Structure 1
Amino acid sequence: MKKKLLLSSLLLSGATWLASEYFFKYAMTPFNKDVDSKAISGKDPLFSEKTWYKNFPKQKWVLKVEPKIKLFAHYLDNHSDKTVILLHGFMSDGDSMAGFGKMFYDWGYNVLLPDARAHGRSQGKYIGYGFREKEDILKWIKSVIIKNGQNQKIVIMGQSMGGATTMMVSGLNLPKQVKCFIEDCGYSSVKEEITYQAQEAIKLPKILCKPLVEGVSIINKRRNKFFLEEASNIKQLKKNTRPIFFIHGKRDHVVPTKMVYENYKATNAPKELWVTQLASHAQSYPMYKEEYEEKVRMFLQKYVR
């Protein structure tokens, strides 16, 4: 009997480890994913903005962050003393933020749109969900200051994983040129989001999710240099001292809406919150375009003189 129990335990452990390996590959690498952020449909609410961006003459910036990792970005020069850095979502690229790019360019901003590591044209084997990328963004910030001078006023804005990255960045020791943050539908922690996706995407019961996610966390520490629980936006937001605007759709079933309230509560800096009633994940801007632009514009007028 004891031998059977031991064998069953070993088989279960092996199966869990194999499942964790697969889920790590699915969640933390660009494995088998195709991104085409440049496909534009006439039915897209942001069709005109994306068409404008596609035809705009863009500079190509390259940043070396590790010996074997170079990052890529597009830059739209508006000859301005204000710059926005736009951060895209999971398995997308900088060009997917074209709608926001047009919005900020019209307001007189230079626009930098980086491809996160392991996304788009940037190099890298593993996705950091904002935890690894936060230091990359700090280097992009310094690149903007070197390029445009000490008088730059910099805004960081991100959507989904980019929103989480924005919150991760907010807790760093940042140059004085960074004035404020805008995050749209970012999660509260990587572990909570991975757990939620395991339950929603593969419909695992909670009792099986816990060992699966723990296995992913161990694998991620070995290969990607952090345990999932380390990557907490809550922890970073508690260190933030700059104004931040939180935006989230009430019908978001990719990043549950409850997370925005957790992020908002964790923030002691000046803060604003807007939950759009009908928007699903990353749909607040196209669904509430005029109101979205007005609320963002009013927020910026307070903090970017």
Structure 2
Amino acid sequence: MKKRTLTLTLPLIGIAATSLAASEHLFNFAFKRVNYVPETSADKQKYADAYYAYVDWYQHVTKEKWYLHEHDPKNRMVAEYIPAATPSQQTVIISHGYKGNGETMANFAQMYHHLGFNVLLPDDRGHGESAGEYISFGWLDRLDYLQWIQQVIDRSTADVNILLFGVSMGGATMEMLSGETLPPQVKAIIADCGYSSIEAELTYLLKRQFHLPKYPIEPLVSTISKRRLGYYLGDVTSTDQLRKNTRPILFIHGEKDVYVPVGMAYENYAATHAPKQLWIVKNASHAESFWMNPERYQQRVTAFLQTYFK
């Protein structure tokens, strides 16, 4: 009887150990910071020349360095502030994508700069020049953005109108931020290809990229997240936050997005009770909506702002 029990137990121990090791590896792969910006996906390589033209503009435009917790290296957050060409009472705060930084949003920075906005581009936790060992996928970042918003208000010499804008993880960050108590200076939000929840996104990518089922990997990764970041993955969603949102919001999503599936845009839109618009961009892949037609993208954003950003 003991021999039979041992025969059954040893494989189970092996499976458990393998699952734990795989979960630890996946958590580090997905959540641990990297000190470089990974290459873009193959489908967007054709936009490389245009992207680097925007980066060149960004590197030469007049800007200032802003900080949160400047004298605390373990918690220091860094942002670049680009003042409008002429004094403006409009400021956009831009949230970048996964493993990006403020500079990777150079195209959007230029677009809003040309629209007359001051532009603030933070590096999120675990990204760029900001501190942080782990990427929080927007949930902890939303608290930093509350402080960035207050800093914009405090540094403005007159009443300021604030727009929140983000792409991919940045879009989800702004969706998660939308459910917090925002000051009246925040007038509207634009979220481009944000996910509905961290858990749903991870589960989707487990299957698509790694051909792994949700169980037992996701619950184990979620437990690691709780221990290191303070939250279970299932406890935080964009949709729950959007149900509390009171600001007008424009959702943008590529029709052929296979990284954050387009169904998540419909979930986020359905969860929102505030004034809302949804623009599904035909044939666009993940975060490609701008690159397919920058002029049309700016026109769509401008139309939303003319309606809601007052």
TM-score of the superposed pair, with normalisation by structure 2: 0.92
In 2 relative to 1, CA 140–56 (structure 1 residues): closer, same or farther, beyond 3 Å? same
| Shift, 1:54, TM fit | 2.0
Segments of 5+ residues of structure 1 without an aligned counterpart are none
- In the alignment, structure 1 residue 187 sits paired with structure 2 residue 195: yes
1:34 to 33, 36, 41: 36
* Distance in 2 (alpha carbons) for counterparts of 1:50 and 1:288: 18
For the Cα contact (< 8 Å) 1:85–1:155, is it kept in 2?
yes
In 2 relative to 1, CA 200–11 (structure 1 residues): closer, same or farther, beyond 3 Å? same
* Distance in 1 (alpha carbons) for counterparts of 2:36 and 2:167: 19
In 2 relative to 1, CA 36–14 (structure 1 residues): closer, same or farther, beyond 3 Å? closer
Counterpart code for 2:181: N
For the Cα contact (< 8 Å) 1:61–1:74, is it kept in 2?
yes
In 2 relative to 1, CA 42–183 (structure 1 residues): closer, same or farther, beyond 3 Å? closer
* Distance in 2 (alpha carbons) for counterparts of 1:266 and 1:230: 16
* Distance in 2 (alpha carbons) for counterparts of 1:71 and 1:41: 33
1:19 to 22, 26, 46: 22
Equivalent position of 2:42 in the other structure: none
Deviations 1:62-86 (A, max 9, x none): 1129772101111001231110000
* Distance in 1 (alpha carbons) for counterparts of 2:152 and 2:105: 18
- 2:76 aligns to what SS in structure 1? strand
Equivalent position of 1:8 in the other structure: 11
Equivalent position of 2:123 in the other structure: 115
| Shift, 1:58, TM fit | 1.2
Describe how 1:10-89 pairs up with structure 2 within 5 A: 10-31=13-34, 34-35=36-37, 43-64=48-69, 68-78=74-84, 79-89=87-97
* Distance in 1 (alpha carbons) for counterparts of 2:123 and 2:260: 21
Equivalent position of 2:271 in the other structure: 266
- 1:72 aligns to what SS in structure 2? strand
For the Cα contact (< 8 Å) 2:176–2:238, is it kept in 1?
yes
* Distance in 1 (alpha carbons) for counterparts of 2:68 and 2:128: 14
* Distance in 1 (alpha carbons) for counterparts of 2:283 and 2:289: 8
For the Cα contact (< 8 Å) 1:90–1:161, is it kept in 2?
yes
Describe how 1:171-250 pairs up with structure 2 within 5 A: 171-204=179-212, 206=213, 209-250=214-255
Deviations 1:173-224 (A, max 9, x none): 01000000000011000001011111122122x2xx3211110000010001
For the Cα contact (< 8 Å) 2:38–2:99, is it kept in 1?
no
* Distance in 1 (alpha carbons) for counterparts of 2:242 and 2:69: 27
| Shift, 1:44, TM fit | 3.1
For the Cα contact (< 8 Å) 2:91–2:119, is it kept in 1?
yes
* Distance in 1 (alpha carbons) for counterparts of 2:167 and 2:148: 17
- In the alignment, structure 1 residue 98 sits paired with structure 2 residue 95: no
For the Cα contact (< 8 Å) 1:41–1:47, is it kept in 2?
no
In 2 relative to 1, CA 36–2 (structure 1 residues): closer, same or farther, beyond 3 Å? closer
Deviations 1:2-30 (A, max 9, x none): 22212211111111111110000001111
- 2:216 aligns to what SS in structure 1? helix
Between 1:169-178 and 1:193-202, the stretch displaced more is 193-202
Describe how 1:138-149 pairs up with structure 2 within 5 A: 138-149=146-157
* Distance in 2 (alpha carbons) for counterparts of 1:150 and 1:68: 33
Equivalent position of 2:164 in the other structure: 156
Equivalent position of 1:257 in the other structure: 262
| Shift, 1:288, TM fit | 2.1
- 2:93 aligns to what SS in structure 1? strand
- 2:260 aligns to what SS in structure 1? coil
Equivalent position of 1:167 in the other structure: 175
In 2 relative to 1, CA 36–12 (structure 1 residues): closer, same or farther, beyond 3 Å? closer
For the Cα contact (< 8 Å) 2:76–2:131, is it kept in 1?
yes
Cα RMSD (Å) of the superposition? 1.8
Segments of 5+ residues of structure 2 without an aligned counterpart are 40-44
For the Cα contact (< 8 Å) 1:21–1:219, is it kept in 2?
yes
Between 1:289-298 and 1:40-49, the stretch displaced more is 40-49
Counterpart code for 2:279: W
